[in-house]
Amino acid sequence: REYAKNKLENIDGLNIIHTNSKLAGCTFAMSVDGVHATDVSLMLDTFGVAVRAGHHCVQPFHRKLNLDATFRATGYIYNDEEDFDILSNAIEESIKLLT
């Protein structure tokens, strides 16, 4: 989780919604300034990266943060640092293309 968090926190224009490691596990809900989460999700798909976009059953939380939606990525025991390198590189490229 810490490796992924450090990679994602250094991406310009990317907002990580929740970074408390004790509560969040290895799930990262994110947004990109000025870009809808669905657009980011579709762009990431072109890089072979699968994420979910939407409200994730917490629409009141999104409203409180003034977000239309977020996209989220989750790591598990079968993911390694290379997977998070691929994710972070794909997010960086997507931000360049979408902004």
What ranges do the domains of the chain cover?
2-98
Show the tokens assigned to 9. 């926190």
Show the tokens assigned to 7. 């990679």
2, 57, 60, 76: the catalytic one is: 57
Question: Does the annotation mark 57 as catalytic?
Answer: yes
What is the residue type of 94?
A: S
What's the whole-number mean pLDDT along residues 71-86?
Answer: 93
Q: Domain 2-98's class? A: alpha beta
What is the residue type of 50?
A: A
- Express each pLDDT in 85-96 by its tens digit: 999 999 999 999
- Express each pLDDT in 32-62 by its tens digit: 999 999 999 999 999 999 999 988 888 888 8
Residue 71 near residue 57, CB atoms below 8 Å: no
Say whether pLDDT at 1 is over 90.
no
Q: Give me the sheet containing 52-54, strands edge to edge.
A: 14-16, 27-32, 70-74, 52-54
Show the tokens assigned to 47. 């890089």
Q: 16 phi and psi, to 5 degrees? A: -90, 125
